[in-house]
């Protein structure tokens, strides 16, 4: 499998990158980000760029991939709906539209979050914008697209959030999240489990396009995909 990861410097993306590099069936990984991952590995190539809204200059560099794991995202805290829409809906759709054109056989997996609002009309701004983003991604002509909606994620294997706000909160919440995962295993997954679930869904598919917390946990931990 040739895989591409957007946001591999982030908490979710670092976990996915690690699992891709460990997986013998993944032969090549392209990390697309605005800064290098700092990881060196024979399977890993990187595309570092500033503009994530216009992909007209990339030529065929993004062609020939079987899967894209789109873990790039921002916290909506303190953002206006217009700004959050630009870095969530606009940015994601600009990249995904280009990828769908160049890779009609691609499986595209997007990380949104528990509580995402597919009606696009609810009261929570972030949930509406993520819902609109999911719905638009599901209309693109990929071979398949899946929306991952994790809730709490426990960072393992030395993974840390990229965003300073998340990092500060995580320093306090990390041990609590670990405890919650042991108490409610279907509600909390680790960064490694998110990576393993994405790889499995990219390979085997899933009966529904949206995977909620319990689906992600079950797929990561080996339950059969119906
Ligand atoms: N962490 C969780 O517990 C959790 C739970 C549920 C859902 N999610 C969702 O998962 C996604 C990733 O979260 P995370 O925790 O991994 O966040 P994170 O640690 O802050 O990482 C975000 C990633 O997105 C990149 N990024 C952000 N804005 C960008 C921009 N304008 N242009 C290019 N790259 C940009 C970051 O690059 P830099 O490293 O260069 O900043 C980083 O690679 C988010 O959509 C989040 O809502 C996370």
Note the pLDDT tens digit of each residue in 56-66.
Answer: 999 899 999 99
Distance from residue 108's CA to the centre of ligand 1 (Å): 17
Alpha carbon 223 to its chain's center: 21
Q: In this predicted structure, what is the pLDDT of residue 138?
A: 98
The model's pLDDT over 139-171, given as tens digits with 9 standing for 90+, comes to 999 999 999 999 999 999 999 899 888 888 888
Please, which residues have CB within 8 angstroms of residue 163's CB and are 6 or more apart in sequence?
A: 10, 74, 75
User: b/e string for 123-133 if b means 16 or more Cβ within 10 A?
Assistant: eeebbbbbbbb
Tell me the C-alpha distance between 94 and 5, whole Å.
Answer: 15
If you take atom 18 of ligand 1, which residue's CA is the nearest one?
10
Q: Is 210 helix (H, G, I), strand (E, B) or coil?
A: strand
Do β-strands 44-48 and 28-33 pair in parallel, antiparallel, or remain unpaired?
parallel
Q: In this predicted structure, what is the pLDDT of residue 157?
A: 95
Alpha helices in the chain (DSSP H): 11-22, 81-85, 91-102, 125-139, 164-183, 191-204, 213-220
For range 14-42, the mean pLDDT: 98
Claim: this prediction has a pTM higher than 0.95: yes
The model's pLDDT over 63-94, given as tens digits with 9 standing for 90+, comes to 999 999 999 999 999 999 999 999 999 999 99
Closest CA to 1 of 109, 101, 73: 109
For range 120-147, the mean pLDDT: 98
Fold of 2-220: Rossmann fold (3.40.50)
Residue of 7, 117, 126 best suited for mutating to test ligand 1, as the one with most atoms within 8 Å of CB: 7
Residue 178 has pLDDT above 50, yes or no: yes
User: Who lines ligand 1 at CB under 6 A?
Assistant: 7, 9-13, 33-35, 52, 71-74, 87, 111, 113, 150, 152-153, 161-163, 166
Q: In this predicted structure, what is the pLDDT of residue 166?
A: 83
- CA-based torsion, 52, 26, 192, 111: positive or negative: positive
The CA angle 135-116-89, to the nearest 5 degrees, is: 50
Whole-number CA gyration radius for the chain: 16
In the chain, what are the domain boundaries? 2-220
Distance from residue 150's CA to the centre of ligand 1 (Å): 13
The CA angle 179-185-190, to the nearest 5 degrees, is: 75
Distance from residue 162's CA to the centre of ligand 1 (Å): 7
Q: Which atom of ligand 1 is nearest to the CA of 167?
A: 19
Residue 225 has pLDDT above 60, yes or no: no
Q: What percent of the chain has pLDDT over 90?
A: 90
If you take atom 41 of ligand 1, which residue's CA is the nearest one?
162
Residue 226 has pLDDT above 50, yes or no: no
């Amino acid at each position: 499998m040739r895989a591409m990861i957007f946001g591999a410097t982030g908490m979710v993306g670092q976990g996915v990158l690690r699992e891709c590099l460990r997986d013998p069936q993944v032969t090549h990984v392209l990390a697309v980000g605005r800064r290098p991952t700092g990881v060196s590995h024979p399977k890993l190539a990187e595309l570092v760029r500033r503009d994530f809204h216009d992909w007209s200059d990339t030529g065929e560099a993004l062609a020939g991939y079987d899967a894209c794991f789109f873990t790039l995202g921002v916290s909506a805290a303190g953002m206006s709906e217009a700004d959050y829409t630009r870095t969530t809906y606009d940015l994601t759709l600009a990249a995904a539209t280009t990828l769908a054109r160049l890779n009609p056989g691609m499986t595209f997996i997007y990380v949104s979050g528990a509580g995402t609002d597919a009606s696009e009309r609810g009261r929570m701004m972030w949930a509406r914008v993520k819902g609109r983003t999911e719905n638009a991604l599901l209309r693109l002509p990929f071979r398949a697209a899946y929306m991952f909606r994790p809730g709490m994620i426990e960072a393992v294997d030395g993974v840390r959030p990229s965003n300073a706000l998340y990092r500060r909160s995580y320093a306090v919440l990390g041990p609590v999240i670990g405890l919650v995962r042991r108490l409610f295993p279907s509600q909390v997954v680790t960064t490694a489990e998110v990576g393993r679930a994405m790889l499995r869904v990219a390979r085997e598919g899933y009966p529904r396009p949206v995977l909620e917390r319990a689906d992600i946990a079950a797929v990561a931990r080996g339950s059969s995909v119906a």
